[in-house]
Chain A
């Protein structure tokens, strides 16, 4: 299967190519992609109108809204670790992922009852808990459903579908608001229905990970999955440890999207009207190139593509630091930013999949994902502080220097070795 895929051109069309691709992209991956697509429509519907609802509707001040933001990151990252381990432990990735999706779905109607800053923060924290719970088991399900040689493409397909949902969500919200003026409750209600549909698709079309988990335990019939000791032992495996360390180091030098857009506007003098469209540009490039980048990673190696993605991000930093007066500079930076996501977001879990045994797959995904998320959060705090003290340009230069060092280290640390060659490494 892997060889057949390799011989086919990336954009193979026609019946033959289609048949081959169907085999490469497993039905489970498509089902999970659909679940993510539908769920992202639901959650982005809410986030598109939430600032307006909170500030203009509930009359919360900007400062109050800002205070909310800090809550989520910590919650999401830590719950991801718990969710991943729990999924391996009860040997049902589908159950834990389903609980996560269901919890987020329940939060949408709850938003209607939350009228103050405290209750809104609580509901959003619950929503993030759901997201944290489901992330690692979902990625584990994807990796278990795809053949070893097509992990990158499987994750690429999933990320592309996920991003499609994120782009459609705001459109759906605006459609509801144009049909019912001021109808925030209708947006939240429709969002809840859409989220419930996501859970239904998951329940109906995603096979439970039990079979794979049982296979991993070697049919010894253990009543429970791996415990904390086995989970901790994961970090003693050199490859997973190196991946976790490298992902965290690179996360520490990845400036958050919001800061990057602020810098972009500040340094290129981009007009106010274009500012809200910057995230859409990144998402569009990510969406279009996630599958090709994943397939490329399967062919030439995940390390090369993952680090090339960070190289492109470095290029974006460099362009912003240089800030030549080109007309198309913002487009170029946003393009590089989207390419960075395409080349890294799905490729990292694909690499993790190759380094973690099936029985501990979700734990491994969570370990690397949590490390990366906490590192990025740390980077946001550090970058904000650096911006305050030194100004935006110097802070960006520092981040670029950090990214350079971390990428060089990762290139060395992730080199293929005799013991742990990645299945796809040529």
Chain B
């Protein structure tokens, strides 16, 4: 083949592949702009964290408000969604304070941050994050916020992963950047290891006690911690993403069904008896569940057919009943006033 002929073929390939690439991007962009028939409807409006009984979550429906924090009346979760201008990967709120983990393309790398917002969803403080947002929680009083990010190596060729969990004081801005610096007591003895990872903090109402998952040596543990004493103590094994009930007697969590497999069953643990109760949800739940009230849990389940969307489901916390769809195309549920 002559040189000019090869250049011609290269040009042709560039045009063809460039056209295909552009078409793919344009199609995705059009989908991002347009809501589809039958999908939940979201209209722009003001979302307040102190405006009565509302269910607030991150909208997953295609359209211009995908990723926005939206609210619906507490009793009508399938009603038209009021969309705020705040876009988050994860969101949680309590007592008029919210934490929004956002992830936007930056100049050189993905720009991940944790933004503390007030009751009108206006940013109050912002903390840079070292990795991909995973879990977020605000303490019942609104004073503390915690988040977990997933820190990966340079690329997917490095045998390495780590989680990093931080707790921030939303009033003073003081930051505890890494729970791994807390002292760990395991089975009554001091424990230290480099492979310790924390994730999924849930707060008690006393503004000091918290629960979280600690993973080390291939095992996950439920830990109870104290912010002021900078320490944690293990309570039980095979507990991930704990969520403390409003009456603080039980913990909802996901339990790995089989070692090594990524299948979890949602359970509720009674903190007094340490007895565990599997819930009626038979599908694998990979979420930090939310207590809608002392009897009901809400959690995300991957939506059928859409790779990057979850639906919100709800189930009774005592193991009875059947799971019910709460809201399609939604994630990070929260009830700022209940």
Chain A residues in the interface with B (C-beta under 8 A):
44, 47-53, 55-70, 72-73, 76, 112, 115-117, 124, 128, 170-171, 173-186, 189-190, 193-194, 196-197, 200-201, 204-205, 256-259, 261-262, 265, 271-273, 275-277, 279-280, 377, 380-381, 384, 387-388, 391-392, 395
Contact = CB atoms under 8 A, between A and B. Distances in A.
A62 B10 CA distance: 42
Q: Please classify how large the interface on chain B is, using the bins under 10, 10 to 19, 20 to 34, 35 or more.
A: 35 or more
Interface string B136-175: 0000000000001011111111111111000000000000
Contacts of B148: 62
A50 B66 CA distance: 19
Given A53-B308, A182-B66, A193-B20, A72 B240 contact: no
- Which 7 A-B pairs rank lowest in CB-CB distance, beginning with the nearest? A258-B153, A57-B308, A174-B105, A183-B28, A189-B24, A273-B128, A66-B161
B262 interface: yes
Interface in B230-283: 240-241, 260, 262
Contacts of B132: 51-52, 55-56
B67 A258 contact: no
B286 A52 contact: no
Nearest to B217: A388
A258 B158 CA distance: 7
B80 to A, nearest CB: 21
B25 A183 contact: yes
A318 to B, nearest CB: 21
Interface string B1-35: 10000100110011001101100111111011000
21 contacts: A51-B132, A56-B133, A57-B307, A59-B286, A115-B302, A115-B307, A174-B105, A174-B106, A175-B105, A180-B32, A181-B66, A182-B32, A183-B29, A189-B24, A197-B14, A262-B162, A272-B127, A272-B130, A273-B128, A275-B130, A277-B109
A264 to B, nearest CB: 12
Chain A facing B: main interface SS: helix
Nearest to A46: B156
Contacts of B28: 180, 183, 185-186, 189
B177 A272 contact: yes
B307 A65 contact: no
A391 B194 contact: yes
A66 B162 CA distance: 8
Nearest to A166: B155
A137 to B, nearest CB: 19
Contact of A62 (B110, B159, B197): B197
Nearest to A381: B159
A392 B194 contact: yes
Given A56-B103, A392-B194, 8 more contacts: A52-B89, A58-B302, A181-B32, A189-B24, A196-B17, A200-B10, A205-B6, A272-B129
Contacts of A197: 13-14, 17
Contacts of B25: 176, 179-180, 183, 186, 189-190
